[in-house]
Amino acid sequence: MAHLLMIESWVGSMSRLLPRAIREGGHEFTFLTRDLHHYLRSAPEGTAHPLLGARNVIAADTNDIKALLPEVERLHAVLGFDGVLTSCDYYLPTVARIAGHLGLPGPGPEAVGNACRKDATRRVLADAGVPGPRFAVHEEWADLARAAREIGYPLVVKPVDLCAGMYVRRVDDETQLAAAVRDLAGFPVNARGQRREPAVLLEELLDGPEVSVETVSHAGTVHVVGVTDKSVGGAPAFIETGHMFPAALTSADTEAAEQTTLGALKALGLTDGVVAHTEIKLTSGGPRVVEVNPRPAGNRITELVRHVTGIDLAAAFVEVALGRAPDLRRTDTGLRSAAIGFLVPERAGTLEALGGEELARAEGVLELQLAESGKAVKAAGSNNEYLGHVMAGDPDGLGARDRVEDLLSRVRAELVIR
């Protein structure tokens, strides 16, 4: 039995999948957080809270790395940790620092830090010749306006240090650019109380479909698990509305996405102790890297992979955090594809009606989650405002996405927001 130190977590699906994977692997974990209420206020209904499975829950200022390092060193001397991990993007660099400080397995802090900063990722990949969009990074308005004219509209505005698509916007002219920059400046602190970098990233708008490549790196070798497709809506935002695994691609496009991902991971130095989710645009000019996430995919993609291949990426995440070879053997699950679709609110209000509970019994449905009536609804601006999802599988081929879209259309027909 190994003992893992978990630094914070999301309150979404991975916050449940990761404790489950630790338990099923025969391990245990100590949970370190600066704000326990952050997790208790979103306790899942009808199931045990995942933190009940922790050996210890300890309060510490996880945002102060200088104070945190000696604190975890003292805890390590008493409790003995075999690995450290997190499922929260904002604490991945912290985990890498702690692992290095304690001599535990994991990728280097510089590699993780560069992957978690979109501007640093762009610079590292550009220096290594890994294809990506034309880009510029500035803080001052005059510099941003000039760079936007040089790149050319339309373009994409991004924060350098947020996730889940927050404040990522398409802009078609300087007026829209000014509004996007102003909105971003009005969000100086992220959801975990960390002060944000004021830099703004501008990128050329890439054409073509977007996919993600799911990989597991151990002992210097990167294993490609597969390629997931992505549907995007909510313009001018870029909201993920659904995914299917495996992506319905030609063998040439699949190979191109995989090879580009391998090049990006090598350039960043993420070839050991990492489960990664790398987003790629298959443009008319070839594949381009959108971003590299040095953690398992969100939005239940890991579950799509598991339903089709039997590979548990949450369990692989635990094993590589312990410096162990993960089990990546494929099994016959009876499904050829699995897909998920999200219910995205287009306007604010109060959810009055949302039918669809009967769909849980429909053929091929793997998961159904729907918000309850009375919920306060925000118009979606990122991947944080979903009203639910449907997941379904196809035993015969790549028909899972069509099945999910049909099921979601029935839910949308009964959606009422006042």
pLDDT of residue 180: 98
pLDDT at residue 77 tops 80: yes
Residue of 354 and 392 predicted with greater confidence: 392
In this prediction, residue 59 carries a pLDDT of 97
pLDDT (mean) for 61-78: 98
What does the pLDDT average to over 279-292?
98
- At residue 413, does pLDDT exceed 80? no
Q: Is the predicted pLDDT of residue 46 greater than 70, yes or no? A: no
Task: Give the helix/strand (H/E) hosting 283.
Answer: strand 274-283
Give the confidence band of 357 by pLDDT, cuts at 50, 70, 90: confident
Strand ranges (E), 92-171: 135-138, 155-159, 169-171
Report whether 19 contacts 29 (CB < 8 A). yes
Place of tokens 């210097």: 220
Q: How far apart are CA 371 and CA 240, in angstroms?
A: 18
Q: What's the pLDDT at 44?
A: 64
**What confidence tens digit (pLDDT) does each residue in 106-163 have?**
999 999 999 999 999 999 999 999 999 999 999 999 999 999 999 999 999 999 999 9
pLDDT at 178: 98
Q: Is 170 helix (H, G, I), strand (E, B) or coil?
A: strand
pLDDT greater than 80 at residue 43: no
Judged against a pLDDT cut of 70, whether residue 365 lies above it is answered with: yes
Confidence of residue 418 (pLDDT cuts 50, 70, 90): confident
DSSP state string for 341-395 = EE---SS-EEEEE---GGGGGSTTEEEEEEPPTT-EE---SSTT---EEEEEEES
Query: What whole-number distance in Å separates Cα of residue 275 and Cα of residue 313?
Result: 7
Task: Enumerate residues 6+ apart whose C-beta is below 8 A from 120.
Answer: 113, 114, 160
pLDDT tens across 204-221, in order?
999 999 999 999 999 999
Which of 342, 361, 335 has the alpha carbon at shortest distance from 12?
342
User: Mean pLDDT throughout 71-83?
Assistant: 98
Mean pLDDT is lowest, of 237-251, 275-289, 350-364, for 350-364
The amino acid occupying position 79 is L
Instruction: Please report, as a single letter, which amino acid is at residue 345.
Output: P
Residue 49 confidence class, pLDDT cut points 50, 70, 90: confident
Per-residue pLDDT tens over the stretch 168-217: 999 999 999 999 999 999 999 999 999 999 999 999 999 999 999 999 99
Contact 19, 27 (CB under 8 A): no
Per-residue pLDDT reduced to its tens digit, 80-105: 999 999 999 999 999 999 999 999 99
Reported confidence tier of residue 310, pLDDT bands at 50, 70, 90: very high
For residue 361, which amino acid is it? R
Give the pLDDT confidence score for residue 48 in this predicted structure.
79
3-state secondary structure of 294: coil
* Mean pLDDT across 352-375: 90
Q: How many helices (H) and strands (E) does the chain have?
A: 12, 19
3-class state of residue 240 by DSSP: strand
Sheet holding 274-283, edge to edge: 286-293, 274-283, 210-218, 221-233, 239-245, 337-342, 388-394, 365-370
Condensed to tens digits (0 to 9), the pLDDT of residues 153-164 reads 999 999 999 999
Residue 12 has pLDDT above 90, yes or no: no
Average pLDDT, the chain: 95
For 199-208, 353-362, 392-401, which range has the lowest pLDDT when averaged over its residues? 353-362
Res 232: pLDDT: 95
pLDDT of residue 415: 83
Name the nearest CA neighbour of 267 among 130, 161, 134, 131. Answer: 130
User: How far is residue 335 from each of residues 160, 211, 309, measured CA to CA in Å?
Assistant: 38, 20, 8
Whether residue 150 contacts residue 136, with contact meaning beta carbons closer than 8 Å, is answered with yes
Question: 288-301 burial, b for 16+ CB within 10 Å, e for fewer?
Answer: bbbbbbbbbbbbbb
| The model's pTM | 0.96
